[in-house]
Amino acid sequence: MHSTSPKSVEQFGSASPPQFDGPPSSDLAELAKLGQSSLDRVGNTPLVRLERIAAGIPGARILGKAEWLNPGGSVKDRPAANIVNEARREGKLIPGKILLDSTSGNTGIAYAMLGAAYGFPVTLCMPENVSVERKRILNAYGATLIYTDPAEGSDGALRKARELAGKYPEKYFYADQYSNPANWQAHYHGTANEIWQQTQGRITHFVSMLGTSGTFVGTSRRLKELNPHIGCISLQPDSPFHGIEGAKHMAGAIVPKIYDPTLADADLGISTEEAYVMAKRLAREEGLLVGISAAAAVAGCLKLARQHPPDQASVFVTILCDSGDKYLSERFWEE
């Protein structure tokens, strides 16, 4: 048999390796269109049906927007991208400026991802007790982290960011997700229209957790324009002391400037325990590993669906704002 082993370098002698010409310069513009940048992938997330969770509730369909499929892994990619794009367009985020904001994790991850992609530095104020996974992700993206007292929650981080922005205005662009209209506008122009198209206008109820309130405010505002009869229900933790990361108990917190409670047809409190139970149910009954606030949103949908008249068809849509992989160090999974 003849040997088929590859030739060694010596066997080729001293001849120069073959040269391959690149594409003609006329094709370079076309090559630039191949594939997508990570930032092109923000938005246009699918709706997933929750079939086993909603089984036994006549006439009710529960759908969740799979926001973990955004490049930064959460719904917060939408407002963060809009805030950054508007700031760059208006000349507020210029070379030499550092983007500064407070975060409980997901918006910070989105900022850090955008900073890495666009080439601007990011400094974030956040409670020291956020999940270890979030801290590691932010470190991976190269963000500078300033930890605040866990007992003060997201409000403590907010106060620290405001202090730094006031003290060093020439150093920072303060994104201020709690007051920036670009937050809710991202959902008004994006999330709401996607939901309307994906449900073919059949949505009857929109249900969302409150944090900065941007998701609820922007999406509800637009859906009400498309159909005033859509019920928009806000959800929040049932206590100021809770374990639903990223969510706000409005009565016991600094209320975001962008929050508009008049948009809610109803407001429902969700306990941390309900969220934990639902997170495990979604993983084990639907094959969906989602975060705690996403699980709380589904728990709220389930409560509302059970109250709905069984002889009326209803389509509940909620936001599954991130996946559960940022929370795997939490003990409730094994309890």
The top-scoring range by mean pLDDT among 8-17, 73-82, 308-317 is 73-82
What 3-state class would DSSP assign to 304? helix
Q: How confident is the model at residue 224, as a pLDDT?
A: 98
Q: Where are the domains of the chain?
A: 42-74+184-334, 77-174
- 77-174 CATH: 3.40.50.1100
The alpha-helical segments, DSSP class H, found in the chain are: 25-31, 77-89, 106-118, 132-141, 153-167, 181-186, 192-198, 214-226, 272-281, 292-307
Instruction: Quote the tokens at residue 123.
Output: 């400094």
Find the range with the poorest average confidence among 24-38, 173-187, 196-210.
24-38
| Global confidence as pTM | 0.88
The DSSP secondary structure of 129-143, one letter per residue, reads: TS-HHHHHHHHHHT-
Per-residue pLDDT reduced to its tens digit, 78-106: 999 999 999 999 999 999 999 999 998 89
Instruction: Quote the tokens at residue 223.
Output: 């859906």
pLDDT of 225 over the 80 cut: yes
Contacts of 323 by beta carbon, 8 Å cutoff, 6+ apart: 68, 73, 289, 290, 291
Q: Could you tell me the pLDDT band of residue 30, with boundaries at 50, 70 and 90?
A: confident
Q: How confident is the model at residue 17, as a pLDDT?
A: 55
Q: What is the DSSP letter of 61?
A: E
Overall average pLDDT of the 248-268 stretch: 94
pLDDT of 315 over the 70 cut: yes
Instruction: Quote the tokens at residue 66.
Output: 């799979």
Nearest residue to 211 via CA among 152, 294, 87, 97: 294
Print burial letters for 140-163: b (CB count within 10 Å at least 16), e (below 16): ebebebebbeeeebbbbbbbbbbe
Per-residue pLDDT reduced to its tens digit, 157-196: 999 999 999 999 999 999 999 999 999 999 999 999 999 9
Distances (CA, A) of 16 to 11, 52, 151: 13, 65, 68
Q: How confident is the model at residue 139, as a pLDDT?
A: 96
Overall average pLDDT of the 20-48 stretch: 77
Q: How far apart are CA 251 and CA 262, in angstroms?
A: 15
Catalytic residue list: 76, 293
Domain 42-74+184-334 coded CATH 3.40.50.1100: yes
